[in-house]
Structure formats: structure tokens, C-alpha cells
Amino acid sequence: MKEAISNETNPLKQVPALEGTPLKPGVIFFRILGIVAFAEFIVMVILHYFDIAEGVFEYLMDSLLLSILSAPFLYLWIVRAVARRLKAEAAMTEAFLKAGAEEELLESEEKFRKISSSAQDAIVMMDSEGDITYWNPASEKIFGYSYEDAVGKDLHALIVPQYQQNAFKEGFERFKQTGKGPVLGKTIELSALRKNGTEFPVEVSISAVPIKGKWHSIGIIRDITERKRSEETIRHMAYHDHLTGLPNRLLLNDRLEQALAMGRRHRSLVAILFLDIDRFKVINDTLGHAVGDELIKAVAQRLKKHLRDTDTVARLGGDEYTVLLQDISGIESVTRVVENIFAIFKEPFDIKGHELFLTASIGISVYPDDGTDSETLLKNADIAMYMAKDEGRNAYRFYTTAMNARTIERLELENRLQKAIEKDELLLHYQPQIDIGTGEVVGVEALVRWHERERGIIHQPADFIPIAEETGLIVPIGEWVLRKACEENRKWQDKGLKPVRIAVNLSLRQFRQKDFVKAVFEIIKDSALAPEYLELELTESIVMKDVESTIEVLRELKAMGIRLSIDDFGTGYSSLVYLKRMPIDVLKIDISFVRDITTDPDDAAIADTIIRMAHSLKLEVIAEGVETREQLEFLRNLQCDKFQGFLISRPVTSAEVEEFLAKGGRFLTDRYKN
């Protein structure tokens, strides 16, 4: 039952077996025909792919029987044709590849030739013996050798300086053997030689190339002359003063440290000299910064010329120079150097048509007595220099410990001065001005004093005005003086006393304040003083600094009705061209020309010239510092208009001014006549 079910459900069991059953002739024919047709199709595809015997296709299609009969021969022919075709294509491919490689090589060589020809750097190729095999146009330009001169020559013999050749040969021998060297793959700086024998700096990069078992090399060489020159310029600018070319503070400190190290080893002395040009500010303000700069350069040149090569002259700024003396035998050697420096100032300096006579103040500190480090030595030399200035200028001073105490005292004085205005410690004294013709008091000059009540000291202007100018305190002090003087004069007039003009000195800083004219106007308005009773005194250095701006300010003040005078005339460098353009009313002859006017012909001639010039410009003349009757008579004979000085009166208080004004000035007039 199971077998019956299985046979019924399995279709394979229902198909008669083929094994042992002979095929009929018709079946065999059609099978062979199918195989041949399929083979022809394959042949057609192959022939079409290889593009051969196109006519065979038509023949095969037209005569199926022939294709059947000749198929074995045709297939053999096709195989051989295909083999030949494949071989030909392989040969063509190989030829094409070879031609392409040669073309690429030629193209690569052409690119290298173009690149190396246009390169700004020298490109040099060397064989295993160090002989040059390639030399680009830049190499010709840089070294001066043509391509023909260079190729085949030993590189080191051609461009390497004599003192570097041994090292070059040793390094190249190592390279020949190992292909390695200390400079390979690096960029280094060396010196090279041009054809004309000049040496110059280069930057070199070398690479190794193995060719047929030997080491060849390619070098790229750059001329860095300009770069080195620029670097040197930058380095010089960093360590030298831009105006004079002298070492600056950085280089001075470096050399000072070296000198101190040597001094410690050899137990030798090292000296620092601080030099400052006396009254340089007057020259700079009067003749202008261009003249001042030329003068600074001229002083620098003289200092370098008259000092030893081992000494260092530096400029730290302004008109200050520092001289470093090392390896000196004793203090006497320092003194001799200082005297030589003073000697260079005896000859005048001719700057832009101006003949300038200068003096200098010098401060000296010596290692190890005055300090063992650079900072202390520089500080102490600076202190000594200021002591030389305070004691009259045109002198030198060695540092002492007492000077340091004075410096500390000066700092304390500056701090106390800061509070002087707040504490109302400033006061005014007044020096009378006398008409030489009538003997009458016609004005007073206001002079500030500083009364430290806690210390019971009255400071003279010379004690604190320089400090005030350095710190800028001169501006509020100057404004206080101007306001107080106007208020005092108005008070005298309100008491019915004889009206007189009051003169007030101005500082450069005060005069250059942006709102100075407005401040003067406000003070006059607040004090209710008539402007014609106020006279403002300016030094030559003030009026000659930025002349056009000065003239504009002076004209504004003059338009208000204020009188204007030039103080200390003759000590600066005024130009008559500018002077006649300025709305000036009075010239004041400096005390330095009055002091010896009766004994020094030069002073007498200067005073006479000033008076004549002033009168020709319709200006009044006041002589300062008159102390003897002989001086007064001399000035009277020169037709000087007015004078002031100890001959008549020292500066006095406001109460004393009221006293002699109450007498109509007769008290002083009587003394003048006696």
C-alpha cells in the first residue's frame, strides 16, 4: 500500500528510464546542429571582439552546412588569429608604455630644467666624488662662475673658504662611504666664496641620492647677505641709540656686567660717569629740536673720539651720556679722563650756523667702593651728577654717602611740596622796580616763597622751583602765584594806594597749557584787576619754542590789555626776526650782564647793544640785579629805563609794599637819591 502511494505521488517514478535506450538519428542530428550553432555564435562574438575576418560572418550565415563541415579548421584558424592578435596588442602595449615612460622622463627633466632655471637659489648636483654635474643659472649669478666653468670641478675647491675646507673634506668622505653626514637633511648657515674672492653668508640644504650603488648629492644654496644685513640692522637698533648710534641702556648694562665680572676676577676698578649738558633745555627750547638733536650728535662724536676704544660711551636719553671706564688703575686715572672730557667742551659747537658754547656736569661712581652691582653704580653716579649741577654746574663730583642722604631729603622735600598749596604755605614777596629817570616806584615783581610752618623754614625759589618744574607742580603753583598777585594788587588799589604794575613770571609748562589764556582771563575777571596793571614775564626759551604758536598766544594776551616782557634777555638765542613780530613791551637785562658791567667790557657792550636794540624796537628796558651805585650810573648813561635790585630793596612782604606805596614811593626814592 505504501509503495503504491509512493509511486503515485513521485513524478520521477512515472518517467521511463533512459539508460540503455538507443538515440534515434534525427535526435542526434538536431543535437549536433544545436551545438554547432552555439559554437558559431561564440565564434562570431570572438571575431567581433577582436575585429578580424569580418567576411566570415556572412559566409557562415549563408552556408550552415559548410560551417558545420569546416568548423574544426575554422576554429583552429580563429585560435591562431586570436593568438597573433593578442601578441600584437601586447607588443603594442609594451611599446606604448615604453614610449610613455620616456616621454614622462623627458617631461620631468624639462620641468626640473625650467624650475631650476627660474629658481632664485643656487641648485647644484654633485657626483660621488664631489664634482659638480649640474649648475643652474642662479648658481652662476650668485657665485660668478659660468656653467662651463663649474661643471666637472670640485665643489669645495670652488666655493668653500680655505678655513672650512678641511671640515668639508672630512664630512664628504664620510658621506661617500655611508651616505650619511651631520648636515644632510638640515638647513645650515655657512660662508662661501664668490669668483672674485669675496666671502658672503649662505644658507645650505643638502640631500643624498643613491645612484647605481654610489651616493650623489643635491645642494640648494641661498645667498642670505641681505637677510644678515637686515638682522644686523635690527640688532643694532635694539642695542643702540637711534639718534647718535651710541650704545643704549641695554647694551650699557650688558657691558657693565661684563666689566664688573672682570673687576671681581682681577680686583680692578670700574668707574661710571654720568654726564649732562648744562642748560641744554634753553638751547632746545630756543633754537628748536633740530638744532638740539644735531648738538647731541656732535657731543657724542667728540666723546667717542677722545675716549679709549675699551671705554663705552652710551646715551640713555635726552642730553645725558654715560661713560663706562674699565680696567683702570686708580682714581687718578678717572680724574684724567674727566678732565679730558671737560677739554672737549672748550671749543664751541657749530650747529646749523649757530656757534654754541657748552659746559657739562659729571657725576662719578667707582666699583667697588660706591656699589658692587650695576644698578647701584648707575644710581649713585646719577646722584653725584645732580650734586654737581646743584653746586653751580660745569663741574664733576665723586659720589659720597652724604649725597645719598641729600637725595633722600630731596625726595622728602618733593612730597612736602605736594601738600604746600593745600596747607596754604605759599606766600609772595615783591621786589620794587624803579624808574631811573624819576626814581619813582613804577611796579613790583612777584616772587614766590614757601613757608614750612612746622619746620619754621622759608624756602627760596631756587630750593623748590626746579623740583616743581620736574614734577609738574609748577602749573598749580604758577596759577596760585598769578591769582594771588592780581588779588594783592587790587587790594592795594582798593586801599587808595598808588597804582603800580605787578609782574609775574611764567613757566614753560604753565604757558603751554591748552587753556592758559582762558585761565588768565578768569583770574583777571575774578580779581577785578585792570589788565594794564598786570605784566607777564616769559624767558627767551619760552618765546622761542614753537614760535608761531607763541606769537598767537601773546597776541591774545596783548588784546586783553596785559603787558608782556622777556625775562633774562641775552642768555638765550632769540631771533630778531621773530622778536619784532612779537607784541612785547619790555626786555629785562639778565643779572649776569649787570654784575660786572662796570669792569667787563664784554658785559658792558652786551648791555649797551640790548638797550639800543630795544629802543629801536620801541621797547622798554629793565636791568635786573643792580647792587651798586656804579652799576646804576653806568646804566643811566646807557639810557636804561628802569632797574631793580638790592641797591634799592630786597623782595619784601605785601605789608611792606603797602607801607612804601602809602608814602607814594618816596621812602625808596629817598634811599635811591642818597
| 551 and 537 belong to one structural domain | yes
CA–CA dist 362, 360 (Å, integer): 7
| Domain extent at residue 196 | 119-228
Q: At which of 228, 263, 293 does a domain end?
A: 228
| 31 and 126 belong to one structural domain | no
User: Is residue 20 a part of any domain in this protein?
Assistant: no
Predicted confidence at residue 11, as pLDDT, reads 41
Predicted confidence at residue 172, as pLDDT, reads 75
Q: At which of 55, 90, 117 does a domain end?
A: 117
Strand order in the sheet with 199-211: 132-135, 122-126, 214-223, 199-211, 187-193
Buried-state track 484-501, b at ≥16 Cβ within 10 A, e below 16: bbbebbbebbeeebeebb
Predicted confidence at residue 663, as pLDDT, reads 80
pTM over 0.75: no
| 219 and 246 belong to one structural domain | no
User: Is residue 418 a part of any domain in this protein?
Assistant: no
Q: What phi and psi, each to the nearest 5 degrees, are found at residue 601?
A: -60, -35
Q: What secondary structure does DSSP assign to 512-531, as a single string?
A: T-TTHHHHHHHHHHHHT--G
E strand or H helix at 128, and its extent?
none
Cis peptide before 432 (omega within 30 of 0): no
Q: Which of 435, 444, 464, 442 is nearest to 452 (CA)?
A: 464
E strand or H helix at 379, and its extent?
helix 374-390
- What is the rounded (10 degree) CA torsion for 156, 162, 167, 168? -10
Amino acid at 581: R
CATH number, domain of 309, equals 3.30.70.270
| 293 and 199 belong to one structural domain | no
Q: At which of 380, 399, 418 does a domain end?
A: 399
User: Is residue 93 a part of any domain in this protein?
Assistant: yes
Predicted confidence at residue 673, as pLDDT, reads 52
534, exposed or middle or buried, with CB in 10 Å at 0-12, 13-18, 19+? buried
Q: What secondary structure does DSSP assign to 432-488, as a single string?
A: EEEETTT--EEEEEEEEEEEETTTTEEE-HHHHHHHHHHHTTHHHHHHHHHHHHHHH
| 113 and 138 belong to one structural domain | no
Predicted confidence at residue 611, as pLDDT, reads 94
User: What interhelical angle do 547-559 and 516-527 show, nearest 10?
Assistant: 20
Q: What phi and psi, each to the nearest 5 degrees, are found at residue 518?
A: -65, -40
What confidence tens digit (pLDDT) does each residue in 10-31 have? 443 444 444 445 555 555 555 5
Q: Distance of CA 559 to CAs 540, 552, 555, 577, 672, Å?
A: 21, 11, 6, 22, 35
User: Is residue 330 a part of any domain in this protein?
Assistant: yes
Is the CB of residue 207 less than 8 Å from the CB of residue 196? no
| 200 and 265 belong to one structural domain | no
Question: What's the structural domain count of the chain?
Answer: 4
E strand or H helix at 185, and its extent?
none
Predicted confidence at residue 60, as pLDDT, reads 47
| 508 and 479 belong to one structural domain | yes
CA–CA dist 150, 132 (Å, integer): 7
| 111 and 125 belong to one structural domain | no
| 204 and 258 belong to one structural domain | no
What confidence tens digit (pLDDT) does each residue in 396-430 have? 999 988 887 777 777 788 888 888 888 999 999 99
User: Is residue 523 a part of any domain in this protein?
Assistant: yes
DSSP tag of 184: B
| 106 and 198 belong to one structural domain | no
CA–CA dist 432, 652 (Å, integer): 9
Is the CB of residue 234 less than 8 Å from the CB of residue 215? no
Is the CB of residue 205 less than 8 Å from the CB of residue 186? yes
- Listed in sequence order, the DSSP H helices in 51-204 are 55-62, 64-118, 137-143, 147-150, 155-159, 162-178
CA–CA dist 611, 622 (Å, integer): 9
CA–CA dist 668, 506 (Å, integer): 27
Q: Which of 507, 449, 519, 446 is nearest to 473 (CA)?
A: 507
CATH number, domain of 660, equals 3.20.20.450
Question: Cβ of 187: how many Cβ atoms within 10 Å?
Answer: 11
| 273 and 313 belong to one structural domain | yes
User: Is residue 16 a part of any domain in this protein?
Assistant: no
CA–CA dist 334, 331 (Å, integer): 5
| 510 and 525 belong to one structural domain | yes
Strand order in the sheet with 269-277: 312-317, 320-328, 269-277, 360-367, 396-398
Counting as low any pLDDT under 70, the low residues of the chain are 1-110, 112, 179, 181-183, 571-577, 665-674
